[in-house]
A = this chain, B = another copy of it.
Amino acid sequence: MRFFALLLCTSASLIAQQNEDSLIIRKIYSYHLTESKSYENLRNLCKDVGCRLSGSKEAAKAVDWVKQAILKAGADSVFLVPCMVPHWVRGKKEKCEVYNNNKSEIFSVCALGGSIATPVTGIKTKVIEISSFEEIEKLGIEKIKGNIVFYNVSFNKEFIHTGNAYGKAVKYRSGASMAAKYGALASITKSMTTSDNDFPHTGMMKYDSLVKEKIPGFAISSMGAKKLSSLLAQNKNLEMYLYSDCKTLPDEPSYSIVGEIRGKEFPNEVIVVGGHLDSWDLGEGAHDDGAGVVQSMEVLAAFRKLGISNKRTIRCIAFMNEENGTRGGESYAELATKENKKHIAALESDMGGFSPRAIGVEAKQDTLLYYKKWQPLFEPYYVFIKQGGGGVDISKLKAVPQFSFEPDSQRYFDFHHTADDVFENVNKRELELGAATIGSFIYLLDKYGTYKK
């Protein structure tokens, strides 16, 4: 009987707790939907600072901007974590022209981040369409040598989360080395996207250190890839002209920015919430990842505004150099090991400013159940707690429980790494609901701590 009474008691207190939490979470959502600065901050970051590739002047301007904005959001203090970042520059606009039976046609392309340039006179040669690395191996040096390799690989549409389709296809963005191994002069890869439009998508490519020869890597828009493929089906001997002017300059000093509200009970326990400040040099880095940065700042602002007293120290971090190096994530993780503090959790928002769908928890089933208990609190906001989680920057914090904010992924690769990733393509309410979801989960993490065996 005692056991039964205890159960009842626990259950009643659990309900009371959940009621209190649901009221506070409701207040957090209301704050974000009515008073939040997320949208205005994103406008400033996108329009006044603009795109901000690591090592650029704009990235330096962005550091100053975030430093001020985190203080305005209500951080007790802010500090910079230095790192040396790669400095790749695009140079003059790329060119791509296809010559087919006395006709010529311009295609939308861009150099991939980290690529070398073409010779100043460009490259003009035939194009070999490829659907997999295996196909290159099969064709061999005889067919590939002296040509441009065109990786025409589409996203697998059956994945529900488009990030999974990206994960499968993105290796072809670094296909230049494989093409070079067989003597190609350049590679051009279909853009990493679910959509059908004329924006080429940039993004990091890596050269394989085992392949001596480096050749330029390009992305072609999804519409362009479709058209090129149909032209090749009619005429295998058409020729393509490619030109790029990009180069890698010496590393530059830069910074991640950390703003914190110190914990009132356990100041030495740290919860990280962040996004990355750098962006590609096309567009304005609105969804990727201006959204994550302004949302993380507003987590602090909501705590201040609503008078939520955090037990643990909550740190909002705008990481530098996620796109092409993760140097910001690395240098912060290094700092974290040296500090006399314990990081108990880290959450990253780096999947765009779309409507919230889930909080991802990087955990095994038993651990997941601990967080799944919070799902009823999120059901009024249509948010699941599910397996998943993590982020590129926070992944450097070894052995720290990782979480991710999962917005709706269907439109992310419409904009990702393109000139169309601009402020106007972020919906105010979607951005705000994301910030509210992140803030509510951080509130629960702070209050109840992470899972302990």
Binding site for B on A (CB under 8 A): 29-30, 33-34, 157-158, 160, 162, 194-196, 355, 357-358, 379-382, 384, 386, 408, 410-411, 414, 427-430, 433
Contact A158 B33 (CB under 8 A): yes
A405 to chain B, nearest CB (A): 13
Contact residue among B160, B195, B382 (Cβ-Cβ distance under 8 Å from A433): B160
A191 to chain B, nearest CB (A): 16
User: Across the interface, which residues of B come within 8 angstroms of A29, CB to CB?
Assistant: 158, 160
- Can you list 14 A-B pairs with a CB-CB distance of less than 8 A? A29-B158, A29-B160, A33-B157, A160-B381, A160-B382, A162-B429, A196-B428, A355-B355, A355-B410, A358-B382, A382-B384, A410-B430, A411-B427, A411-B430
Contact B160 A380 (CB under 8 A): yes
Not counting A29-B158, A33-B158, a sample of 13 additional A-B residue pairs whose C-beta atoms are within 8 angstroms of each other reads: A29-B160, A33-B157, A160-B380, A160-B382, A162-B429, A194-B429, A196-B428, A355-B410, A358-B382, A382-B384, A382-B408, A411-B427, A411-B430
User: Across the interface, which residues of B come within 8 angstroms of A380, CB to CB?
Assistant: 160
User: Across the interface, which residues of B come within 8 angstroms of A427, CB to CB?
Assistant: 410-411, 414
Complex: chain B residue closest to A432, CB-CB: B157
A306 to chain B, nearest CB (A): 14
Q: Most B CB atoms within 10 A — which of A355, A380, A384?
A: A355
User: Across the interface, which residues of B come within 8 angstroms of A355, CB to CB?
Assistant: 355, 357, 408, 410
Contact A34 B430 (CB under 8 A): no
The 5 A-B residue pairs with the shortest CB-CB distance in the complex, in nearest-first order? A357-B382, A410-B429, A33-B157, A30-B158, A355-B408
A372 to chain B, nearest CB (A): 11
Complex: A430 Cα to B430 Cα, angstroms: 15
A95 to chain B, nearest CB (A): 29
Complex: chain B residue closest to A26, CB-CB: B158
